[in-house]
Amino acid sequence: MLEGLDASGKTTQLRLLGEALAARGIPHLATREPGGTQLGARLREVLLDPARAMRPLTELLLMVADRHEHVEGVIRPALAAGQWVLCSRYTLSSLAYQGFGRGLDLDVVRRLNELATGGLEPDYVFLLDLPPRVAYERTRDRDRFEEEGLEFFTQVRVGYLELLRGVPRGYVIDGTLPPHKVCGEILARLPLSGL
């Protein structure tokens, strides 16, 4: 599971990790939230549209609706087929963005996450950490979240770092490193030897 601010490099790492697993002959699936299913792609459009304001709870409910479809329709079937699932964003994103960022009650976010996932937890979580200013400078066409100011992203980052401390096999990776170094840091923590 890859987590991090907008433009922290999740999509880039999903691609590099996919290549690294393919080179080792490990069956895998790369996917993302929101938007990892057909319905999810529609939800993603609505969620990221800068022209569409919505209340924080609405945002959370749409995110967990997307997550439920994704877990049941994509992640569980892939795991059952013996694939490694590489996913950009999951439950921690809702806790960091809708909880720490938007100020919703963390217990409400936790309960909805639990409902959406049936308790399915990732084996590994990698937080691509970087200062919000660096992330912001990497973005061009800004979506609804990226339109938020630095203060919002500072809150989200603080949340991520705090949340990561409670995650088993949760690692903070320096997202300011060049892409291949970030990928190396992640691979070094995965159980690849002996495969």
Ligand X SMILES: Nc1ncnc2c1ncn2[C@@H]1O[C@H](COP(=O)(O)OP(=O)(O)OP(=O)(O)O)[C@@H](O)[C@H]1O
Q: Which residues bind ligand X (CB under 6 A)?
A: 4, 6-12, 88, 138, 177-179, 182
Residue 179 contacts which entry, ligand X, Mg ion, none (Cβ below 5-8 A, type-dependent): ligand X
Q: Per CB under 5 A, which region of 7-15, 104-112, 130-138, 141-149 contacts Mg ion?
A: 7-15
Q: What is the dihedral of CA 45, 113, 80, 3, to 10 degrees?
A: 60
Residue 7 contacts which entry, ligand X, Mg ion, none (Cβ below 5-8 A, type-dependent): ligand X
Q: Which two tokens stand for residue 82?
A: 């013996």
11 touches Mg ion (CB under 5 A)? yes
Residue 29 contacts which entry, Mg ion, ligand X, none (Cβ below 5-8 A, type-dependent): none
* Stated length of the chain: 195
179 touches Mg ion (CB under 5 A)? no
Q: What angle do CA 116, 165, 29 make, to 5 degrees?
A: 45
**3-state per-residue secondary structure call for 23-64:** HCCCCEEEEECCCCCHHHHHHHHHHHCCCCCCCHHHHHHHHH
Q: How many helices (H) and strands (E) does the chain have?
A: 9, 5
- Shortest Cβ 178–ligand X spacing (Å): 5
Q: Which is nearer to Mg ion, 18 or 57 (CB)?
A: 18
Q: Which is nearer to Mg ion, 107 or 141 (CB)?
A: 141
- Shortest Cβ 128–Mg ion spacing (Å): 10
Query: CB–CB of 4/10 below 8 Å?
Result: yes
User: Where on the chain is the footprint of Mg ion (CB under 5 A)?
Assistant: 10-11
